[in-house]
Amino acid sequence: ANTDCKLPTSACDFKFEELGMSIAAGLNKKWHSMLPRTDLGNLLCGNFSVAYAAVFNERFYAVAIFSQPIIRSIAKNGKTIELRRMAICKDAPKNTASRMLAICCKLVKKKFPQIEKVVSYLAVDVHKGTIYKAAGWTPVGDVVNARPQRKRGDKNRATGPLQTTSRKQRWEFML
């Protein structure tokens, strides 16, 4: 690794380490382009959750947050985890996102051996899926509209006000 430089010059320069969820949520808030807010209780709910950071010279450059899937039909088998947020700082080198996906999936499998699949949702109105393709993920199913936003006092289940209104595509990676 190139530890003499102030900034990393390659995505291969990073160490990856597990991170507390509060710190991970704070990094996401600082760097995420569309979804900076997260609900910490939501990230910690379910049977498993974990966050990882890409680190160089004791500084964070990327964060990935995983938790039990939000969609109950996917979560019920107990063998799937969802990449809820991934955010990269502006100083990170090229290919940081795809390397982050690849390494973090290996770390998830080591921490949770029962997990067989990782899912994530791409906002297709904003992103093309380049990092998922580069990391070997597969798009699954149709592109779907976002669920309607929850209105104050509405008890029906729907996406909350923190979610994007972009159409979504689910991506999957088999561990």
Residue 151 and residue 120: Cα distance in Å, rounded? 25
pLDDT digits (tens, 9 = 90+) for 142-170: 777 876 665 666 665 445 554 667 788 99
Q: What are the 10-residue block averages of pLDDT along the chain, 175 residues in total?
A: 72 96 92 65 78 97 93 87 94 95 96 96 86 93 71 56 74 96
pTM for the whole structure: 0.84
Task: Give the long-range contacts of residues 102-105, CB within 8 A, separation 24 or more.
Answer: 102/135, 102/136, 103/14, 103/16, 103/52, 103/54, 104/16, 104/52, 104/64, 104/66, 105/135, 105/173, 105/175
